[in-house]
Each structure stands twice: as C-alpha cells, then as structure tokens.
Structure 1
Amino acid sequence: MFSRRAFLSSTTAAGATALVPPLRPTPARAQGYPNNGVRIIVPFPPGGATDVLGRVVAHHLQGLWGQTVVPEYKPGASGLLGARQVIASPADGYTLMLASTGAILSVAASQGAKPGNYNVTRELAPISLVAAPSYILVVNPSVPVKNAAEIIAYAKANPGKLTFGSSGAGTASHLSGALFAQMAGVDLQHVPYRGTGPAVNDLLGGQINMLFSPPQVVTQHIAAGKLRMIGITGAERSSMFPDFPTIASTGLPNYSSVGWFGLFAPAKTPAAIVRKISADTATILALDDAKKRLTDAGAEPAPNAPDVFTTFVNKDIAKWLGLAEKANIKLSP
C-alpha cells in the first residue's frame, strides 16, 4: 500500500556536501529526510497510553532511519501545551507529535471551534493513525458494582458521590465518562489529571472510584485483581479482550466510545516528508516486534494515509465538540 521514495544522489550534490555542513531538507530535498535527529513530542506525562505508543514508534523509526528519534514529554493543559509547541515548531519534519484525541480536541476548544468548522490542517499535518483501541471502564474494588447496570443504580442511589478520573479535561477518558453519565442520566464527578498514569495511581489508591482508560495502562492491574473490569467502551467486543463484555451489553444500550492515537507534524510540513513518515510508520507497525509490543499494551496497529487520517480526525473532533456543546462540558483548560 505504501512505498518509500528512493534516495537520490548526484556527483554535484556529493561535491556540495563535501564543502558545506549538512542542512535540514527543504521541500526540494525531501528525498534525503531524515539526515538529522528527530524528536517526538508526547503531550502527556510518562506512564500513560500516549507514552507507551510513543516509545514504540520512536524506537522503530530510529532503527529504520538510522537517526536518533527521541520522545520528549511536554504535559499540561490536557495536551494543549505540547501541541502548541509542535504547532510553533519549524515545519521541516524534525519535530513530530504522538497525540491522542484529547490533545487535538484541546487545540480545537482553545480556538472556540464549533462542530463542523474545525480543520486540523490549519495547525497540524496529520501523518498517520497509530492505534484506535476501545477503552476499558475499570473501578476500584471497593466500589460495590460489577457491571454498567449496577454503576447506574449505585449512582442514582448516591447522586454526586461516584468520581471518575481522566487524563485531562476534554480527553477521550473524560468524554467517555461524560457520555456515560449523559446517556445513563446520572451525576458523576469528574476529576481531571495531567495524564492517564497519575489517574491510574489514584484509582489504585482509592482516591477516585472509576476510570475510562486505554487498555495499555490497566490490563496488568485487572489481571492482578487490583482493579475491577466493568466493560469495554466499543460497540462490539474486542478481539484482543474477547472475555470483556461491552458496556452497552451490561446495562447501557447503544453506548460506544473509542480513543485514538496518531502522529502529527506542524502544518506546512512538506507533503513529501509527511508521506514518507506515514509510509515508514506503516512499515514499522507491520514489524513483528512492534505488533507484539502494541498487542501486549492492548492496542492493534492501524496505520493509514495522511488524507485518510485527516478526514478521520476532523470527523471525530466534530463529534466530541457536539457532545461538549450539548452537555455543556468545558473542554479548554
């Protein structure tokens, strides 16, 4: 489906290289990309799902390119701080971002975007989807519920007492909980964190009751009996977790919510560079080691082309902006 551009060389270019230091590629020289180190901004703290996937992508791109590829963590404001740093970076392909739903939604909300009028390409160049797993609703074992129906009954009997954490305002973990509360007609107290990792820690410690979490960071705690699995957020059972029921099937019909993770560059990054990174991302995600590491983390590789990813992002952001407007949810920090 994808093919990498062949590198071009000429005696003239070779002579020029001998006379001057290597330069970062211009659009005309995109075939030589990358000829320098690349950084991948992760707009959330270490320990969360974005971190896990970012490290896999960085590791294998470094192996493919023969250049240093380093994840850099820039958390804050539900991913907005890291996203803004990428938006303001040179559009040369040497600063990328491994972002989730929430980081892009934070960008849109900070601009006052409304459903249907946000276009991600004004600030960022979508490169490729990496994964789009269903989330898992988990609770601290001290909460006396075992399925969605029991959560709803408990919440109605104890209005305002159940808390759910998230990786930040406007993130997929926040919106998954907001959608649950809206559809169930219950009052759940939202507690935002600066990433999924800190939220999981507080859930384990009993400071919060519930979390809609990417599988990558809670499956080991479910297996150890430290967290109780309620169900997955997708409309259908996951092939990766065939024994996990859907939330829709255990008490909240028609409920469905998924998170996603993808690779971005600053807007106006040369199209040739964007296409190359996208093709190379598809190449590394097809490697057995990458597939195993993603599978172990609860995610399946799902690379796609830049135009397909752009359409996907704009449609998904419009959906969540619509929910926020309808439910009066504040998305911008």
Structure 2
Amino acid sequence: MRKLLACIALSSCLFLFGCGEPLKTDTSIIYTMDTIVSISMYNESDAATHFKKIKEIFYDVAKVSDDYKSGEDTISIYDLNKDREAIVSNTLLDLLREALNAYQNTNGYFNPFIGTLSHKWKDKIKNNEILEDSIINEELLKIENTSLSMDGNKVTINGYGNIDLGGISKGYATAKAKEYLESEGISSYYIDAGHSSIALGSKNGDYLNVGLSKPYSNGYICKIKEKNLVISCSSPQNQYIKIDNNYYHHLLNPFTGYPSNTFDSVFVLNNNPMEGDYYSTALFNMSYSDCVNYSKENNIKIILYKDNSILYKTEGVDIYE
C-alpha cells in the first residue's frame, strides 16, 4: 500500500499527509479516467458497502464521459460525437448540463466543444510535435460554431465540433461521491481523485494535511492543513513536452487553440469538486489579471504558481512549508 500511495504522490498535483492520532483507516484504490482514485474512511464500521457505492459512481461517470471508446450498453461521449444525436442516460444528461453551465459561468474559458482540437494536440504531443496553425484555426472555427440541443434525454450536437468533458468529469464524480458519503452521515473521509481534486472531510474531526505538488519536478510547493474542504488543481504535470524552451500540453486555451502557459499550476479551494475542477481549468487559461479579478468577483479562493514561485494566493488561505 505504501508503494502505491507513493506513486499517487508522484502523479498528482495534490498529496495527503497523515495528521493526528492513528485511527482505524480503510482505504480503497481504483483506476479510472486515467487516474488513480484513492478513497479513505476513518473508524467506519461499514466501509466496504460505501466503497462499492463510490466505485459505482466513478465507473458510471467514466463510462459515459469517455470520448475515446463506446459505452457499449450505454451512450458515451464517443458515441454522441460519432452519431451527433442520441438518447443519453440521466448521468450523461446531467453532466452535459453542468458542462454547459460551466461554459456560461466562465465566459467560455471552460469549453466542452474543444474535443477534436484536444485529441489532435494529444496526438502531436505523443510524437513530440506541435500542431500546425492551419489545423488550429480550422478547429477554432468548429468550436465557435458548435452547440448542444436537449429535448428530454435526447441530445443533439449542432455543428462540427466534438465534446470533451475531461475538465469536469472527475470533479463531477468526486462531487457525487462526496454527496453520497455525507448523505450517509460520514464526515471522516478523504477522496483523492489524482491530479484533478481531493475532497477532504476530516480525520475523526481533526485536520488533514495536503501537499501541493510542484509541476515539472518532484517536491512540494507548500502544504495546507484543512478539513471539510475541496482542493482542485489544473497543471500539465506529466502530460507535456518541451520544445525550444516552451511547454506544450493538454490544457488548451479555447480562444487561441494553444496550450496555456501563464501559470504552471492553478489551485482552487472550495466545497464543490465539480466547480473546483472546471474553475481551475478555466482560470488556468486566463491572463494573470483576468484570473485574479475573476476569482475575486466570484469569491473563489485560489493559489497561482509559476516558475518555482507562488504568484498569488487569496487572502485567508493559510499555507506552510
């Protein structure tokens, strides 16, 4: 178990450290959405039942949000992108509605129609190449002219862009898992959704320590001691290439079509993993001034990190080495 948790630390923007007196701890680890998800509960008598339910939540969201393969017994984003119209499950319908809300709430900086452009960049990055401007411009035009229509559970893609829910799906699943635990009266827990977000309950009422990992290297930016909080992160982490001293990665600005590099990492601290997920994605794509102003206007607590330095943190966010 210790070796596996060490692997989580290396592949995540966030890492949980022990805090307080030893307790009976039950931990379950699953791999889904290209992420190691770790769920722990403290002094819980029926942990196995709760782990089963949380796994079902994550696997359901993973299946419908997959944009690389068919959902087989259900419609996935891959199926919807291919057929352009489908009767979708309630889970996917809700996820799409939340993605459209995120698009509106962030003034387009979170854009669910970036699918084809995202795939093309990922293919280029795998080959240590940069996507051509002509292709980027073609894809930006598609993105700009794509929308969704919904009639009950019938969803139609209008235009030629493809949907990508990568900036919200893990946060959505984590939010649903958090809601489930709290509906069951469980407050001593944490859910670590890898490089996306970590939802903290408490450790039998005590605080939990979370390390914010450095991008592009080992080590930690700082630590935060909190409870009953969600910390979400957007950072290239391990998915990038470096060409001519420039970083190219999967976090794309939907207005320029290029990877954003104003920040190396953006952390959002709130109580909703789904909102934290899409807020961190959107803020990562903004300029420094737009990011800070947007966070203030929307009362979002953030930490901005670039070139081995914390550029900005919201007043009242306490950190320590």
TM over 0.5: no
Greater per-residue helix proportion: 1
* TM-score between the two structures when normalised by the length of structure 2: 0.29
Structure label with greater radius of gyration = 1
Greater per-residue strand proportion: 2
* TM-score between the two structures when normalised by the length of structure 1: 0.28
